[in-house]
Amino acid sequence: MINRILLGLFFCGCGLTASAENGSNLWLRQEPSCQATVVCDITSPVIDVARKELASLWKGGEVILRISADREHYGLGDEGYTIRSAGNDIILESSAEKGLLYAAYHLLRLQAEGNDCKNLNISESPLYEYRILNHWDNIDGTVERGYAGKSLWKWEELPSVISPAYEKYARANASIGINGTVLNNVNASIEILSDKYLDKVKALSDIFRPYGIKVYLSVNFASPMKLGGLDTADPMDEKVAEWWKRKVHEIYSLIPDFGGFLVKANSEGQPGPCDYGRTHAQGANMLASALKPYGGIVMWRAFVYSPTDDDRAKQAYLEFKPLDGKFLDNVIVQVKNGPIDFQPREPYSPLFGSMPHTPLMVEFQITQEYLGHSNHLAYLAPMWKEFYEYVSPYSIKAVAGVANIGDDVNWCGHDFAQSNWYAFGRLAWNPELSSSQIAREWLMQTFTDESEFLNPVEEMMLESREAVVDYMMPLGLHHIFAWNHHYGPEPWCEIPGARADWLPSYYHCADREGIGFDRTTTGSDAVSQYPDSLAAVFNSLSSCPEEFLLWFHHVSWDHKLKSGNTLWDELCYKYQTGVEKAQEFCEVWNQMSDYVDSERYQAIANRLKIQADDAVWWKDACLEYFRTFSRMKYPSGVDKPVFRLKELKKVKLPISNYECPSEDILPRK
Ligand code: GCW
């Protein structure tokens, strides 16, 4: 007994002072109590983490960690577990160590939410084997589409200096079940595979391993040339395949549990197999063969489109569907949730369901490239759940999320953006969880469990993404963003010589008659990429869900919608609703100062104010511009414009695609 207590004290974090309320503790904010006795006869890096967490934070009686004798432990797999109460004690059981780690975090989450943990009888296992964050971090410290400071990875200091943030990052991920991380941008630098950088990658993977997290790398397909000095990167060339084999061997000799590669090939200027007349499958398979002996995988992205074809929304399908069944079994084709590019709302990508002989994984974007960066509150679980309404979670193999994490003190810029990191992990573990349950869990752990706070704030979260859709691009509008940075509106944008499919007019197609992209059978025919029954629904103006109306149809301004309003009036009302919602969020938050520490309260209030002002900018820019085509009046109940179109056309934000704009450069009255 004495030994056990000593063990508990030894691992406990008591004596550490809680840090300031600046958001740096994420949802992991329980104070150490150091009263638990943890019984486990195994010592290993993973078990030690579980033991340390429980010894420090668990406030109940004895916790027993047990590796089950039956290898599968009720068919729950290596990461699954059971949690059972036995009197005052709790027994955590799994067939493997990682399962015990997840069980420990589950138990602690129940405690943090104030549950009575007396009669627990829980069995859990993740739906997906691969639950992966994709960092778009560059080795120069910038983060593509990152709005929370610089990269967390301090490449210049690694491997000798190890920031304490790395372990905190691993812990946060493990607590929500994320088990893999791609460290670098899909627009991949060549150097990441150099000896120098692989030593740095090894240092990170050593820190992540005890938290059950594998490291993956994005690779540049031309690496054999630029790094290896070969004269080609043709996947059918033996020298090239040999070069990759050697490189992979080198990686595994440093990192024995390395996860594999993520590849963006022949997309937006990146090199790839098509440069040599080869297919995506040939390229992916060459890498997969090199990784296969070590158990590594290739995640090959299907985000491809060229400036030549008629409809960008069709292109990934046209290029990848014919390759169904041609990939080796350790390749997973990674497809963005929608056919274009992480817009506030898109229908699902028709590739899902169209490649029955190829494992597919969905790529969600956690970072808010198109949803107000880290200035706007947009809780994304409802958007991801919407995807699963069309695509069965059981039909796909894995999940990836483009991370919203940087070196900002609160990790994600906006305190509420932490909820998207959290929700991604929870849904990757169990896509059946509801948006509401996840929001509540997160709020209780991050702020307080008082219902006067929880009820209104949860509701605000649940409404937030729809509000963004309403004030940015309602009724199926998409990609009418400002050039390059994707923050504000620029539906009028014309850049001489620019690719047509990078310009808003390509997508909104506004003219005197109406607005919207005709993707029906008489238009670009993108509808026909969906299963027949759904294609018929999307194809008809009367049955197409109105949230996708202008995605699939070019609709006349005076067309009557279900509400009885004309399209023009409805568009006006949607923008108005978005503006009102954003204003309402400020009011809801203003009532919450008693429940939240002043630092986070104020930071959130400031950002909600920016959001509400931006919503007006969006409404005015879009409605004033589209009115030049519709030549119709604003219906009653819609606010008069605050800005004039002429003024808004002059707005140019001096920011790159690595930044979140500060208040002082945004258009304000
Ligand atoms: O969403 C777009 C972004 C690019 C990004 C690309 C991709 C990493 O605007 O910044 O590049 O998609 O997903 O590859």
Task: Give tens-digit pLDDT for 213-225.
Answer: 999 999 999 999 9
Residue nearest to atom 1 of ligand 1 (CA): 341
Q: Is 277 helix (H, G, I), strand (E, B) or coil?
A: coil
Q: How confident is the model at residue 191 (pLDDT cuts 50, 70, 90)?
A: very high
pLDDT of residue 82: 97
pLDDT of residue 628: 98
Helix (H) or strand (E) holding 506: helix 504-508
- Which of 591, 371, 587 is CA-nearest to residue 472? 371
Domain contains 532: no
pLDDT of 238 higher than 50: yes
Angle (CA) 489-494-495 rounded to 5° is: 115
| Residue 136 alpha carbon, nearest atom of ligand 1 | 8
Domain contains 622: yes
Q: 148 and 112, same structural domain?
A: no
What is the 268 CA–ligand 1 centroid distance (Å)? 8
Residue 638: partners with Cβ closer than 8 Å, 6 or more residues away: 572, 573, 575, 576, 623
Is residue 487 within 6 Å of ligand 1 at its C-beta?
A: no
Q: 265 and 189, same structural domain?
A: yes
| Residue 336 alpha carbon, nearest atom of ligand 1 | 13
The residues assigned a catalytic role are: 268, 341, 369
Is residue 62 within 6 Å of ligand 1 at its C-beta?
A: no
- Domain with residue 487: its CATH number is 3.90.1330.10
Q: 76 and 98, same structural domain?
A: yes
Q: 588 and 561, same structural domain?
A: yes
Q: 145 and 99, same structural domain?
A: no
Domain contains 459: no
Mean pLDDT of 245-263: 98
Q: 418 and 361, same structural domain?
A: yes
Query: How many whole angstroms separate alpha carbon 257 and alpha carbon 78?
Result: 15
What is the 352 CA–ligand 1 centroid distance (Å)? 20
Which of 142, 303, 478, 655 is the pocket-test mutation for ligand 1 (most atoms within 8 Å of CB)? Answer: 303
Is residue 264 within 6 Å of ligand 1 at its C-beta?
A: yes
Least confident of 11-15, 108-112, 479-483, 507-511: 11-15
Residue nearest to atom 11 of ligand 1 (CA): 187
Residue where a domain stops, chosen among 124, 153, 171:
124
What is the 340 CA–ligand 1 centroid distance (Å)? 11
Mean pLDDT of 564-581: 98
**Helices and strands (DSSP H and E) totals, the chain:** 19, 15
> For residue 44, what are the domain limits?
38-124
pLDDT of 657 higher than 90: no
Task: Give tens-digit pLDDT for 78-107.
Answer: 999 999 999 889 999 999 999 999 999 999
User: Quick check: 474 and 578 in contact, CB under 8 A?
Assistant: yes
Task: Give tens-digit pLDDT for 416-463.
Answer: 999 999 999 999 999 999 999 999 999 999 999 999 999 999 999 999
* DSSP-assigned beta bridge partners for residue 133: 181, 401
Domain contains 619: yes
pLDDT of 68 higher than 50: yes
Query: How many whole angstroms separate alpha carbon 43 and alpha carbon 412?
Result: 34
pLDDT of 6 higher than 90: no
The position carrying tokens 């963005």 is 336
| Residue 363 alpha carbon, nearest atom of ligand 1 | 13
Q: Would you say the C-alpha torsion 558, 562, 565, 571 has a positive or negative sign?
A: negative
Q: 140 and 117, same structural domain?
A: no
pLDDT of residue 10: 38
pLDDT of 521 higher than 80: yes
What is the 90 CA–ligand 1 centroid distance (Å)? 46
User: Quick check: 165 and 155 in contact, CB under 8 A?
Assistant: no
Q: 569 and 610, same structural domain?
A: yes
Is residue 136 within 6 Å of ligand 1 at its C-beta?
A: yes
pLDDT of residue 71: 66
Task: Give tens-digit pLDDT for 269-282.
Answer: 999 999 999 999 99
Task: Give tens-digit pLDDT for 117-170.
Answer: 889 999 999 999 999 999 999 999 999 999 999 999 999 999 999 999 999 999
What is the 2 CA–ligand 1 centroid distance (Å)? 56
Domain contains 59: yes
pLDDT of residue 18: 43
The position carrying tokens 């899909």 is 186
Mean pLDDT of 499-508: 94
The strand ranges marked E within 382-506 are 398-402
Domain contains 657: no
Q: 60 and 163, same structural domain?
A: no
Q: Would you say the C-alpha torsion 530, 518, 555, 648 has a positive or negative sign?
A: positive
Query: How many whole angstroms separate alpha carbon 616 and alpha carbon 641?
Result: 8
How far from 279 is each of 237, 320, 334, CA to CA, in Å?
A: 14, 9, 16
Residue where a domain stops, chosen among 93, 124, 155:
124
pLDDT of residue 16: 42
Which of 187, 299, 365 is the pocket-test mutation for ligand 1 (most atoms within 8 Å of CB)? Answer: 187
Residue 645: partners with Cβ closer than 8 Å, 6 or more residues away: 620, 621, 624, 625, 628
| Residue 186 alpha carbon, nearest atom of ligand 1 | 8
Helix (H) or strand (E) holding 81: strand 81-86
Angle (CA) 96-181-465 rounded to 5° is: 110
- Which of 359, 305, 354, 295 is CA-nearest to residue 327? 359
- Domain with residue 84: its CATH number is 3.30.379.10
Parallel, antiparallel, or unpaired for β 514-515 and 555-556?
A: antiparallel
Is residue 145 within 6 Å of ligand 1 at its C-beta?
A: yes
Residue where a domain stops, chosen among 124, 155, 190:
124
Query: How many whole angstroms separate alpha carbon 225 and alpha carbon 243?
Result: 10
Residue 577: partners with Cβ closer than 8 Å, 6 or more residues away: 467, 470
% of the chain at pLDDT higher than 90? 91
What is the 527 CA–ligand 1 centroid distance (Å)? 24
Domain contains 537: no
What is the 335 CA–ligand 1 centroid distance (Å)? 13
- Which of 333, 431, 436 is CA-nearest to residue 389? 431
What is the 12 CA–ligand 1 centroid distance (Å)? 43
Task: Give tens-digit pLDDT for 417-426.
Answer: 999 999 999 9
Mean pLDDT of the chain, nearest integer: 95
Mean pLDDT of 328-352: 98
Which of 137, 138, 145, 340 is the pocket-test mutation for ligand 1 (most atoms within 8 Å of CB)? Answer: 145
Q: 486 and 361, same structural domain?
A: no
User: Quick check: 383 and 342 in contact, CB under 8 A?
Assistant: no
- Domain with residue 229: its CATH number is 3.20.20.80
| Residue 185 alpha carbon, nearest atom of ligand 1 | 8
Q: 339 and 223, same structural domain?
A: yes
| Residue 486 alpha carbon, nearest atom of ligand 1 | 9
pLDDT of residue 20: 63
Q: 300 and 209, same structural domain?
A: yes
Domain contains 507: yes
Task: Give tens-digit pLDDT for 306-331.
Answer: 887 789 999 999 999 999 999 999 99
Q: How confident is the model at residue 58 (pLDDT cuts 50, 70, 90)?
A: very high
The total domain count for the chain is 3
Residue predicted with more confidence, 342 or 657:
342
pLDDT of residue 481: 96
